[in-house]
Structure formats: C-alpha cells, structure tokens
C-alpha cells in the first residue's frame, strides 16, 4: 500500500536551526505562525482565539532510520526505543504539539508555545478535547 500526506500549511518560526530547537514546547517553545493553504480555509471554521489545539507536523529534517536513542541526548539515560520517546528521529517523523491559538488572521494562526523549526510542514490540526464529568 502507498500512503500520501499532503501538507496543509507551513510553520513560520524564529527557530531556524534544528540543533537550537527546544525538546518540548514548555521548555522554550516560541510564538509561531501556521500559514495554511487556501484550499483548507473552511477547515478553520470553529477554531477561536484561546483554543488549545494539537498541531501535527512533518519533521522534515529527521533521520528516518533511527530506532533507538538516549532520551534528551543524556548519556546517563539508557538507550530507549524511539516509540517510548519524543525523539524527532523515527521511521515516520510526525511531531505532535499542544499549543494555544493566540491570533487568527485569514489563513494565519499565531500559536504558542511551538518548538518546530521554520518552514516545517503542517500536516493537520485537531482540537484538544475537554472532557467534563457531571456528578
């Protein structure tokens, strides 16, 4: 079977170099702009400033042949399989980022905190579901 992913947009970020990217959004993520393609504009209906969303990106600079890493590049930590880590290097380098929508201007969403590097392809956006239990 052949699978295809089509980017729906691109990240505009002040993080330019992979080696300077923080490991997680809470650890140095920045305010960034998601510039979406015109053909997906209707998909933004219902997203509002203040919403938390999950942004899925294609980690285009990742190494796809890596299966084990030392988490956080820490030589004191044991070698661990990539599926038990958040390493960007993995067979299918999909990044998952929980961010808050700060501004919406046409096809541009300003979000934070995002640790993606500039020009990273955006492959999807999903809402963070808030589950309420009434007692």
Q: Given pLDDT bands bounded at 50, 70 and 90, which one contains residue 101?
A: very high
9-62+91-127: CATH number: 2.40.30.70
Torsion of the alpha carbons at 42, 96, 100 and 25, rounded to the nearest 10? -150
Domain boundaries, the chain: 9-62+91-127
Q: What is the pLDDT of residue 73?
A: 76
Percent of the chain with pLDDT over 70: 88
Give the pTM.
Answer: 0.86
């Amino acid at each position: 079977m052949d699978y295809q992913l089509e980017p729906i947009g691109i990240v505009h970020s002040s993080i330019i170099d992979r080696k300077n990217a923080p490991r997680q959004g809470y650890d140095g993520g920045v305010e960034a702009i998601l510039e979406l393609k015109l053909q997906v504009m209707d998909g933004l209906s219902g997203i509002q400033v203040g919403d938390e969303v999950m942004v899925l990106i294609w980690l285009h600079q990742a190494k796809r042949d890596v299966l084990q890493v030392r988490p956080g590049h820490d030589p004191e930590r044991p070698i661990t399989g990539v599926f038990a880590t958040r390493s960007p290097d993995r067979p299918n380098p999909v990044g998952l980022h929980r961010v808050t929508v700060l501004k919406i201007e046409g096809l541009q969403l300003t979000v934070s905190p995002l640790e993606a590097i500039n020009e990273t392809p955006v492959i999807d956006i999903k809402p963070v579901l808030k589950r309420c239990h009434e007692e």
